[in-house]
Structure 1
Amino acid sequence: MAFLLDVIKGIFMGIANVIPGVSGGTMAVSLGIYDKFISSITGFFKNWRKSCKILLPIVIGIGIGIIGFTYAIEYLLSQHTFVTCMTFVGLIFGGLPMLYTDMRAKMTETKSKIGVGNVIAFVGLFAVVVGLPMLGVGSETSSVLAGTPVNMLILFFVGVIAAATMVIPGVSGSLVLMILGYYYGIINTIKNFLEALKVMDLDALLNGFLVLVPFGIGVLIGIAGIAKIIEYLFNKHSVMTYSAIFGLVLGSPIAIFYNTGLYKHLNEVSIIKLFLGLILCIIGGVMTYYLGKKEA
């Protein structure tokens, strides 16, 4: 049962990483698996058996979420933008009670109080996650990326940057990919690779392999590198780190609404969509809260 629950949580993380503006790290925090996910990565070589046991269901779920939602993301965000965004707002906010409980426990353990530094961390990181989408996006391409040596090198570093931001709660790795101008290229390459796999188109498979492998290696290196930093912050500056995460989490819905362009069309949302969006927001929140309590 625990294995299946972690697979489900991994699926939510994978889906979150596909949506620009939604943070896979935030989803992991909301679902109550962030700490063990990070510690399993940083302690992999010290206790690889335990780390594999923890990471395997989560990674399986992430893979299912990314592959499955790659096909759905464009349709949902273009045809059902408000309802989709509200669902993820609920999924994100549903983890706030558990996050608050963890923070209070750390404050009691370390005999800390909310000070000026915590407020600065909260406001600063809130501003980062809200301001990031407003930086604008790079020149995007809707075509499949070519597996040239130059692209392979670039995609390795893009993978490092994107993965580092995927692990940080509140920061959307897919949004960073969009800002760098590689979001749709990666999404379309994944879709093209899966389609080529169905018909065994060897040329398309080779091109996809040459694009996705260096990107994937960069992702793994980026996750491992940032995980060490995150673990240090939780161990040495836990309350301030929680304060910063609160800022990131609370700023995420604003980033989602801005990045999808939904804020421009809120007055056009019908009563039916408004009602459905609120219902799905509540359902998403309850689901995340329940999964988080299961983990606790």
Structure 2
Amino acid sequence: MIKQILQGMVVGIANIIPGVSGGTMMVAMGLYDRLIHAITHLKSEFKDSMKLLIPIFAGAGIAIVALSRLFEFLLATYPIPTNFAFCGLIAGSLPFIFKKVKGHKVTVSKIIPFLIFFGVVILMALLGETGGASADVSFGFVNLLKLFGVGIIAAATMVVPGVSGSMMLMLLGYYDTILKVINDFVDALVKFDMGGLMTGVGILAPFGIGVVIGIFLIAKIIEFIFSKAEIHAYYGIIGLILASPIAILLKTDWSGISVLMVGIGVVTFALGWFTASKLGGE
């Protein structure tokens, strides 16, 4: 269970950082197939599904709540080593993913999804250069519906490997706002500020409900795709994953580059690779 909580924390951290895909981290650690199965078979295999889902989601929640400020600081202060660490995590996942297609002949029909999804990730990185304006989350029926819809979209993109849910929030203009609301909610909880807690719940509840519904919807779609064309789907995922480090490096702030920063980046890349090798697999 401790390993699964740690895996969930890696997924949670990935979902905080624009350009990094939580779905990619799931694949990297050998979680993806099992997680999709647990979500789509929750009713029929409730006990077994919850054994996997509870520690994973608990770990992700802990990471998002406890580490959002830390990674805001790391990305602002040490963007090169921080992003190199995530590139290492992704690169370290490749041996596990290539095993999924080992023994299957490479064909044009498999290369096509690879190229399409490789291009999707690069395009999203190029389009996602701006943080966007802060969204209006003042209490109101229309804003509640918007938060619900944004939650569905964010969840769908969080689950798809290679696509960054936080980047999608950024493009929609909700990234900075949601992150600030989470941090303010934690502050209010520490101070027992009931007004602050109610404000946070009013924003996070519709967003959270949207996230849960979005995860279940996209999981059903992904399960259907895998049941019809599993190997082709994995070629698409490989395209997404190979493009992810490029997308991360495109999003990296290189203004502070130096020999020292690059050297530290090489070390953090190696640590990321090592972590992927230990957390990966069944």
Q: TM tier, shorter chain?
A: over 0.9
Q: 1:44 to 1:73 in 2, by over 3 A?
A: same
Taking structure 2 as the reference length, the TM-score comes to 0.96
Q: 1:144 to 1:79 in 2, by over 3 A?
A: farther
Residues 127-136 or 92-101, more deviating:
127-136
Contact 1:7-1:57 at 8 Å conserved across structures = yes
Q: Distance in 2 between matches of 1:139 and 1:171?
A: 18
Contact 2:161-2:237 at 8 Å conserved across structures = yes
Q: Which whole-Å deviations, capped at 9, do the CAs of 1:159-179 have from their partners, x for residues lacking one? A: 000100100000000000000
Contact 1:170-1:249 at 8 Å conserved across structures = yes
2:192 aligns with: 200
Is 1:99 the counterpart of 2:87? The answer is no
Residue 158 of structure 1 aligns to which amino acid in structure 2? V
Contact 1:145-1:189 at 8 Å conserved across structures = no
Taking only the aligned residue pairs, the percentage that are identical comes to 43
Q: Note the C-alpha offset of 1:51.
A: 0.6
Q: 1:230 to 1:238 in 2, by over 3 A?
A: same
Counterpart among 133, 137, 140 of residue 133 in structure 2: 140
SS in 1 for 2:163: coil
Is 1:209 the counterpart of 2:201? The answer is yes
Contact 1:31-1:292 at 8 Å conserved across structures = yes
Structure 1 consecutive aligned stretches of length 4 or more whose deviation exceeds 4 Å? none
1:282 aligns with: 270
2:235 aligns with: 243
Q: Distance in 2 between matches of 1:179 and 1:261?
A: 18
SS in 1 for 2:261: helix
Q: Which whole-Å deviations, capped at 9, do the CAs of 1:164-216 have from their partners, x for residues lacking one? A: 01000000000000000000000000000110111121111111101000000
Q: Note the C-alpha offset of 1:257.
A: 2.1
Contact 1:145-1:186 at 8 Å conserved across structures = no
Counterpart among 273, 277, 285 of residue 261 in structure 2: 273
Counterpart among 33, 43, 46 of residue 35 in structure 1: 33
2:44 aligns with: 46
SS in 1 for 2:280: helix
SS in 2 for 1:133: helix
Q: Distance in 2 between matches of 1:257 and 1:72?
A: 20
Cα RMSD between the aligned structures? Answer: 1.5
Counterpart among 59, 73, 83 of residue 61 in structure 1: 59
Q: Distance in 2 between matches of 1:119 and 1:183?
A: 34
Counterpart among 96, 106, 109 of residue 117 in structure 1: 109
Residue 14 of structure 2 aligns to which amino acid in structure 1? A
Q: Distance in 1 between matches of 2:230 and 2:94?
A: 16
Taking structure 1 as the reference length, the TM-score comes to 0.91
Extract unaligned runs of 5+ from structure 1: none
